[in-house]
Amino acid sequence: MRLDKFLKVSRLIKRRTIANEACDAGRVLINGKPAKASASVKVNDIIEIGFGSKAVKVQVLDVQETTKKDEAKELYKYV
């Protein structure tokens, strides 16, 4: 699955266009390397997102095309 779509489906970022812009600005890392929006996300990848002065680091537990709002937190865990 594409990185920008995973960020939206997992609700780490609310909109796909915002996720796309964050990737283009270099604020999203997969396994410690800057990632484009089209990068592939796999189970056990570590995604780090820079939000201003704070960074969020999560591990991918599952990859799904769609999910319900209350099940979105099951796709990742905080590291």
- 24-79 pLDDT per residue, tens: 999 999 999 999 999 999 999 999 999 989 999 999 999 999 999 999 999 999 99
User: Environment class of residue 4 by beta-carbon count within 10 Å: exposed (0-12), middle (13-18) or buried (19+)?
Assistant: buried
**Domains detected in the chain:** 3-78 (3.10.290.10)
pTM: 0.93
Report which secondary-structure segment, H or E, holds 33: strand 33-34
> Can you tell me the distance from the alpha carbon of 40 to that of 44, in angstroms, rounded to the nearest whole number?
12
